[in-house]
Amino acid sequence: MKYKILISLILMFLLTGCWNYRELNEIAVCTGIAIDKDDKNYVVSVLIANSKKPEVSSKEGEAQSSIYVGSGETITSALEIIDTKIPKELYLAHLDTVVISKDVAKEGVYKTIDFLLRNPNSRRQFYVVVSKEKKANDILKILSPLESFPSENIATNIQSSLQVESSIIEIKYNEYLKTLLEDGIEPVLTSVSVIGNTTAGEKIENIEESEADTYIKLDNAAIFRDDKFISFASTNETIAINMLTNRSKYTSLNFKCGSSYFVIQISYIKTKPKVKVVDDKIEYTFDVVTNASVGEDNCNMDLTNPKVIDNLTNQTVRQLHTILSESINAFKYEYKSDVLGLGQILYRNNPKYFNQVKDKWDSIYPNVKVNLNIKVKLKTKGAAENTVRGYLSEKQ
Amino acid sequence: MKNNNSLSNLEIGCITFFLTRCSYIGVTISLLAFLLKQDAWIGFLMGIIIGLIPLIMYLYIIKYKPDFNIFEIIESLFGKVIGKILIGIILVLIGYYTLMVFANVCYFIGSQFLHQTPIIVIAIAFMIPIVYGLFKGIKIIGRVSILLFIIAMILIFLLLIGLIPSADLNNIKPIFEHGFLNNIKDCLVFIFYNVLPLFVISVIPKDKNNSKSFNKYVIIFYLLSSFISLSTLIIILTVLGPDLAILYQYPEFHVLKQAQLIGFLNRLESILSMQWSFSFFITISVNLYFIVTAIKREVKKINIEKPIIVLLCLLLVIININILKNNTLGNEILLKYLPPFMLVGLLIVPFIIFIKIVLNSYKEKHISKS
């Protein structure tokens, strides 16, 4: 009996994780990391979420975010410098966002984030974004009235924006790595910029105004080739990436009519790619099926007339065709980056042929033919049957 | 250890379930993904089907003399001298395999959960319940395996429903890129690491009253375990993709970080991965029981069960700490050197036993007819 009690006691101490037990107030919960580079060293900024600043808190003991900066030859050494500045141990399991500067992205992203691949605390479920500003550090400093921490602001902004429109890319670290490792596809990342004065955005006064002077804005896709940043895409190109790779289901298109516009909102996008190889000529067909509705009609069109609806549908198809085909040409000839994964589509359908050409895919890719087969089903007109002006003119 | 009490078919079935699942963590899945990439699940499926052959061979050997354990069967077939040599080969192999399993669990826990904890603490913490279980006897291990089976099934169910929404079937295309023959060749990975270790059930005392359904239980639980492991492999490939599955150490753990239940429950990887520690616990316990039973047979008069158990466990801990110093070395030994040993000890030797039993049965029939 005695040895059973002894064993139970030993097990109680050994099996409860007491060996590297840490209290919450001993760890600095890091929710955002920004990576810049000066001449030789990486400059790493970490956003600590559980710092206490009683002098600026509205409630006593309310946590605020703090940024610490460290510089080193590697990310690990930069973080070690930061560790010497803070009295707590950095804890990366709650990382929301990693912001990298354009300069770092141009050198290659995986070098800077290999540390996060290996760190056992890191859950690899964070977003990686490219800063359009000179310093990625500036992004993490901008306070937001709607979210507690700038990193959380970026992460929730990405998630919520994609529910409404397609002009931003949602890519987490795991998915970025996956596109980097696979043949026949190049990665893309979200970009982020600061609107307003960066210095003013760091101050608490920025969020005390009813309209913040400085805020973070998500921007178009950052296009990469072989892990190196090439360029920022345009809005239409970003929409094309989302539509053709089935990343997003929502977008809206504006059509001009005189001095006004009408808006078609697309609420469902399904793209099926097909590929065939005939005499060494590769031809793709993207079957794009969308459901759409009238979002705004300021052109006083008679929405009760089926011919008008057909006309709107045709215009939507033409507009989508223009956006997608121009974007595809830009990816092929301007950026020379296979962000749509055409090589991967070929690999999945014809692995034998792809394995023969994959070493020279970069030269073959611009010469592939891409056809678009777009179907738009304009299903609803929203809550209103006709426009207000149309109804009033009918009444008269 | 108390005198052998026979285990029910359900208990042996649950033990079979865990024995089959043990090596799929950190070994089978990673190796198959490396060899066959997106076709890894096809190789795994082929391994399940082809793996029935050695399993049926083991069951035939066990059924030869139901009242005997495997050591008694071997000595009755080959005589004492050759019998002891064959038993020695099997014991060395089982000991080697147990060491590798133990090293695997220590590396897994040490690298993914408790990375600041010394490996010796993890090793001792894991060994204490194994020693205690062995002190209590195989019957207790059998009962524990039923409880752990129920918990494991709940966790596996949660794992699958938490990950299925993230699956993308495009990640397992193109199918059969590596060809049928390569899939057959590489499915041996599954057989070596997940089927051949089932030989240890030959030492477990069986319930004589329900001996007819013994085979049925073993095969059903083997298939259940294998198909659950297969579905997990498919989930890994469809969620992470084959390239990430190769890149990550323990991709089966990393994919759990993406599991989400009821839309908001996440960070469940620590809970959902508990079921693997059950497999390790049962496998090491049963393997050590196998070795201890063999040694006990040789030293009949002195009661040395408990000292042998403690000695073997200490040996496992010491070798793990001092010789297998890092998991690169451990992986090399596990993946390069273990399969030939497994082939000899757990396939060729049982095959020789099987042939001897078949010949003996044929002779007995021939004699009875004449």
Q: CB of B29 within 8 A of CB of B251?
A: yes
Q: Which of A90, A178, A247 to mutate to test the interface with B (most CBs of B within 10 A)?
A: A178
- In this complex, the residue of A10, A125, A174 whose CB is nearest that of residue B128 is A10
- Evaluate if residue A273 carries a pLDDT over 60: yes
Chain B hits for A174, Cβ within 8 Å: 240, 244, 258
SS3 content of chain B, % helix, strand, coil (to 5): 85, 0, 15
Q: What is the CA radius of gyration of chain A?
A: 26
Residue A12 touches chain B, beta carbons under 8 Å: no
Share of chain A above pLDDT 90, in %: 41
What is the mean predicted confidence (pLDDT) over B163-192?
85
Q: What pLDDT does residue A53 have?
A: 54
Residue A207, helix vs strand vs coil: helix
Residues 62 to 121 of A: which have CB under 8 A from any B CB?
Answer: 117, 120
Task: Report DSSP state, residue A259.
Answer: T
Residue of B nearest to A177 (CA): B244
pLDDT at A15: 63
At residue A6, the pLDDT reads 82
Q: Which of A7, A182, A347 sits opposite B128 (nearest CB)?
A: A7
Q: Which residues of A touch B125 (CB under 8 A)?
A: 11, 14-15
Q: Is residue B2 predicted with pLDDT exceeding 50?
A: no
User: B209: pLDDT confidence band, cut at 50, 70 and 90?
Assistant: low
Q: Which of A124, A125, A178 lies at the smallest CB-CB distance from B241?
A: A178
pLDDT above 70 covers a percentage of chain A that reads 93
Kindly report the nearest CA distance between residue B183 and chain A, in angstroms.
16
Q: Which residues of A touch B241 (CB under 8 A)?
A: 178, 181-182
In the predicted model, is pLDDT for residue B345 greater than 70? yes
The average pLDDT across A276-297 equals: 90
pLDDT (0 to 100) of residue A17 = 61
| Interface membership of A10 toward B (CB under 8 Å) | yes
Instruction: Quickly count: other Cβ atoms within 10 Å of residue A88's Cβ.
Output: 17
Cα→Cα distances B222→A36, B45, B52, B235, Å: 53, 13, 9, 20
Q: What is the mean pLDDT of residues B314-319?
A: 90
Least confident of A45-54, A107-116, A266-275, A309-318: A45-54
pLDDT level of residue A126 (50, 70, 90 thresholds): very high
Chain A residue numbers with beta carbons less than 8 Å from the beta carbon of B259 are: none
Query: Please, which residues bridge with residue A268 across strands?
Result: A291
Q: Which residues of A touch B108 (CB under 8 A)?
A: none
pLDDT tens track for A184-220: 999 999 999 988 887 877 777 777 777 777 888 899 9
* Averaged pLDDT, A225-236: 92
Averaged pLDDT for residues B193-214: 84
Structure confidence by residue, pLDDT tens digits, B109-148: 888 888 888 888 889 888 988 999 999 999 999 999 999 9
Higher pLDDT: B368 or B277? It is B277
pLDDT given for residue A54 in this prediction = 47
Placement of tokens 């040895």 in the chain: A3
**Alpha carbons B285 and B19: distance in angstroms, whole number:** 10
Mean pLDDT taken over chain B: 88
Average pLDDT over residues A164-179: 88
CA nearest neighbour of B324 among B29, B123, B53: B123
What confidence score (pLDDT) does residue B206 get?
A: 77
Of B112, B114, B240, the CB nearest to A17: B114
For residue A349, list chain B residues with Cβ-Cβ distance below 8 A: 173-174
At residue B291, what are phi and psi to the nearest 5 degrees?
A: -70, -45
pLDDT of residue B299: 80
CATH number at B9-369: 1.20.1740.10
Q: Render pLDDT for B57-101 as a digit per residue (tens, 0 to 9).
A: 999 999 888 888 889 899 999 998 999 999 999 999 999 999 989
Q: Do A349 and B174 touch (CB under 8 A)?
A: yes
pLDDT of amino acid B302: 67
Strand-strand pairing, A27-37 and A188-195:
unpaired
- Least CB–CB distance from A347: residue in B117, B125, B174: B174
Q: Which residues contact A7 (CB under 8 A, 6 or more apart)?
A: B128, B132
pLDDT score, position B1: 43
User: What pLDDT score does A52 carry?
Assistant: 65
Indicate the CATH number for domain A242-396.
Answer: 3.30.300.210
* pLDDT for A18: 61
| CB-based contact B128 A348, cutoff 8 Å | no
Integer Cα distance of A220 and A239 in angstroms: 9
Whether the per-residue pLDDT at B52 is higher than 50: the answer is: yes
Average pLDDT of chain A is 86
Amino acid code (one letter) for A353: Y
Query: Where does chain A hold its CATH 3.30.300.210 domain(s)?
Result: 242-396
Cis-peptide, bond into residue B339, ω within 30° of zero: no
Q: Is the pLDDT of residue B239 over 90?
A: yes
Tokens linked to A11: 């097990």
Cβ contact, residue pair A349, B116, below 8 Å: no
Looking at the DSSP bridge assignments, the partners of residue A375 are: A289
pLDDT at residue A371, rounded to an integer: 94
Q: Is A9 on the interface with B (CB under 8 A)?
A: no
pLDDT digits (tens, 9 = 90+) for A287-337: 999 999 888 888 777 777 888 888 889 999 999 999 999 999 999 999 999
DSSP secondary structure, B179-195, as one string: -HHHHHHHTHHHIIIII
Q: Supply the pLDDT for residue A109.
A: 86
Q: Which residue of A has its CA nearest to B169?
A: A348
Q: Does A194 touch chain B (CB under 8 A)?
A: no
| Residue ranges in B51-197 assigned as alpha helix (H) | 52-64, 70-112, 119-136, 138-163, 180-186, 188-190
Contact B117 A20 (CB under 8 A): yes
A174 to B125: CB separation less than 8 angstroms, yes or no: no
- Per-residue pLDDT averaged across A157-184, rounded? 87
Q: Which of A12, A19, A354 to mutate to test the interface with B (most CBs of B within 10 A)?
A: A19
